[in-house]
Amino acid sequence: EFTGDFDREQYKEYMIRSNPVISCYTSDIHAGEELNWQNIFRAVDAEEHAIAVRIVSVNGMIDIAENYRFSKGGIYEVEVLAVDAKQKQTRKIFPLPVLPCKNK
């Protein structure tokens, strides 16, 4: 419940604020190579400031490490979450192509 004009204004600001935008930058991800999610997925808030992303799941599996290695090539579904300082959030699933190991 909102009390007073100040809370109402904050709520209105929150409702009209744009959600973060998440972009995916893939280039030659190979199975077996350690990758940093922050280099692949980038997010910006309504003011175009960079915000961190969190990997929710890979092919439905949760508890994904920050420095991750895909065990084999294929197309993986990566669920990404970005939350800005005002608690607006975007959750999106990206298809991520992973190439076979380089040494095979």
Please state the three-class secondary structure of 58-104 as a single string.
ECCECCCCCEECCCCCEEEEEEEEEECCCCCEEEEEEEEEEECCCCC
- Of all residues in the chain, the percent with pLDDT exceeding 90 is 68
pLDDT grade for 97, boundaries at 50, 70 and 90: very high
**Residue 80: which of 62, 101, 100 has the closest Cα?**
62
Helix, strand, or coil (residue 46): coil
Q: What is the pLDDT of residues 14-51, one digit of tens each?
A: 888 999 999 999 878 999 999 889 889 999 999 999 99
Q: What is the pTM of this model?
A: 0.84
